[in-house]
Amino acid sequence: MLREIGEGAVVQVHENPYSSNTYIVVSGTHALVVDPGISTTDEVCEVRRFLEVSGVRDVYVIHTHMHFDHVASTAVLRRYLSSRGFRVLVLHHRSEAEYLERGDNYVTLAVPFFDSVLEPTQIDLVVTDGYKVSIGEYTVEVIHTPGHTIGSICLVVPKLRVVFTGDTVFSDGVPGRVDVPTSSPRDLVSSLLKLRSRLHGEYLVLPGHGRLYRGLLEELIERCLRYLA
């Protein structure tokens, strides 16, 4: 299922048994795929079909964090698109890239949560806090938000007033889990405070799971902080 949001510049794909959200930012011949999802479902096929008919030639794939339900289809998607002439670059935060490249099935939760095996995934660009990538007319900025995992990130598109929060912030005011490998409640609180200090006013919040949120980001973050208190 595809749904246009964010003034038509963002497409949401939601089609897998774990309810993880995939998003695509499109501008001209460039696209950014946020969290491709799980390759064992129709989700990756939806992404492929959309990119093939949209006129896109350069595809950036970025993960909000390393968990299996967000990254598993990346290797499959890269092979498919590359074989059809797309230029594909995969980005991930530097503190987690090694886990994906070696196919770590424990830290990525592939085995303990999903009873699956993660295919090793090549990372072309490692990103850090403040890294910016240009997708046509849009600039997408990385904010490092450790807590749910050590390399969790949020992505901000200022021109669209959109923020992709992964599993750091959900639309119901509940933050991501902090009982999984590399997670830290203290880091998550610090990350929420960082988001609150950097982003002000109304945003379209696109989380890794569940419904989107449109409203004052500070209010949503305050609810997450109260949850963790």
- pLDDT by residue (tens digit) across 185-216? 999 999 999 999 999 999 999 999 999 999 99
Domain range 2-228, CATH class: alpha beta
What are 156-178's pLDDT values in tens digits?
A: 999 999 999 999 999 999 999 99
Site of tokens 């030639």: 57
What are 92-108's pLDDT values in tens digits?
A: 999 999 999 999 999 99
Q: Is the pTM of this model over 0.85?
A: yes
Q: What is the pLDDT of residue 207?
A: 96
Percent of the chain, pLDDT > 70? 93
CB neighbours of 127 closer than 8 A, spacing ≥ 6? 62, 91, 92, 93, 94, 133, 142, 153
Q: What is the pLDDT of residue 92?
A: 99
Indicate if the pLDDT at residue 139 is higher than 90. yes
Domain ranges of the chain: 2-228
